[in-house]
Amino acid sequence: MEKRKVELMAPAGNWESLQAAINAGADSVYFGIDQLNMRARASMNFTPDDLPEIAVRCNKANVKTYLTLNTIIYDHDLSVIKTLVNAAKDSGISAIIASDQAVINYAASQDVEVHISTQLNITNIETVKFYSHFADVMVLSRELSLNQIKKIVDQIKKEEVRGPSGELIQIEIFGHGALCVAVSGKCYMSLHTNNSSANRGACVQNCRRTYTVIDKETGDELDIDNEYIMSPKDLCTVDFLDQVVDTGITVLKIEGRGRAPEYVKTVIETYRSALDSLEEGTYTQEKIEHWMEQLNTVYNRGFWSGYYLGQKLGEFHNASGSKATQKKVYLGKGVHYFPRVAVGEFKIEAQHLKVNDTILITGPTTGVYEQVVEEMMVDEKRVEVAKKGDNVTFPVNTRIRNSDKIYKIVKNED
């Protein structure tokens, strides 16, 4: 396969998301194991025993695998990180994403490829040179502008800054997803209020709530137009991806290891399509509108361009939670697949399913599939509606499994 100009990197919080990312056309995936990653709270992390299968599944699909080991590290973690780096190496994981020097140093000493995490906030060429002794790929700080990014990339080429592999340093940036009110990796709010350190991957996201500011001398409550003053909108670059790619970055990372598998599917499919269009020279306004519509269907706090197009204040979230135009509603689980006729049987455990409903099928092996139910049967009879308790069968576009769950997609009325 010809090497793509820009690598599209997908988040994988669990098997469903991992498979969804592969199916949606990601070039690489990143994921955490146990507690030493920035989503330590998520119950969705993998375990060390999952590493070999992750590597096998991804290698087969020609997808690179990156293990995030990017929290701050205490003394009692030191032997754990060695075990994890060794396990990653033995399993054939492509690289480790690290921020603590203990991890960077150990991984490099074991000849394991290192990528520098956003937690280190690289904002200049000298820092790139410093870490080039250890790492081949570096994520730049989310707070840089595209001009600043381009200057760093140009300087790498001019000065021929090379990593341990001997290749020029590759620059990665975030393309889509949540942004922090603080400079990434430097927020202590969650630690102060909940003892729960963001830098140990345990952020409670209290910046996403509403706050009132009170003048202590007078007791006056300050009137703030936008109540969610610490919750930035989500980063979205699909509408100026041409400018992003022109900076010379080689990896585009999608945030969201805590997000649902259909989020990964939709966002990766969208950016895959956008990157491919750029390479083919068919990146048009019409397509951009379609992509924005797609991205709006999944979890988002409203979109803005981050800091890439220069400082722009006031882009804060003005509502609680997601602005997604769609949501999924749980219906039931997979029961059986009849391969000869490509029909799936599902048990409806909640709500009801109607003909012409759009459904999502998700599972650790299946990934995420979306389709419209055109016809269905209950008890060998054609029906228009399948109710709670029914076993329903209908033609499916993919093999389904009894580990799968079925949802229907409905408009978000909120």
Partner 1 sequence: MLIVTLQRAKCIGCNYCEELCPELFRMSKKDGKSVLLNSIDRKGFHTLHSNHEYFDAAENAKNACPVKIISVKMT
Chain residues in the site for partner 1 (CB under 8 A): 34-36, 40-41, 43, 74, 76-80, 194-197, 200-202, 204
Question: Smallest gap, in angstroms, from Cβ of residue 196 to partner 1?
Answer: 3
Q: Which is nearer to partner 1, 77 or 136 (CB)?
A: 77
Nearest distance from residue 71's CB to partner 1, in Å?
9
CA distance 243 to 238: 10
Q: Are strands 353-354 and 385-386 parallel, antiparallel or unpaired?
A: antiparallel
Q: Considering beta carbons, is residue 29 or 36 the nearer one to partner 1?
A: 36
| CB 32, min distance to partner 1, A | 11
Interatomic CA distance for residues 99 and 124, integer angstroms: 16
Residue 141 or 197 having the CB closest to partner 1: 197
Nearer to partner 1, 51 or 153 (CB): 51
Which residues make Cβ contacts (< 8 Å) with residue 120, sequence separation at least 6? 99, 127, 131, 185
**Whether 142 contacts 158, CB under 8 Å:** no
Residue with Cβ nearer partner 1 (47 or 212): 47
Output the smallest distance, CB 100 to partner 1, in A.
Answer: 13
Rounded to a whole number of angstroms, the minimum distance from the CB of residue 187 to partner 1 is 14
Residue 176 or 257: which CB sits closer to partner 1?
Answer: 257
Q: What is the smallest separation between the CB atom of 193 and partner 1, expressed in angstroms?
A: 10
> Minimum distance between the CB of residue 261 and partner 1, rounded to whole angstroms?
22
In the complex with partner 1, which residue's Cβ is closer, 82 or 272? 82
Cα 101 to Cα 80, 115, 131: the distances in Å are 15, 12, 10
Nearer to partner 1, 35 or 296 (CB): 35
Least distance from partner 1 to the Cβ atom of residue 409, Å: 32
Are 233 and 316 in contact, with CB atoms under 8 Å apart?
yes
Residues 303 and 237 sit within 8 Å (Cβ to Cβ):
no
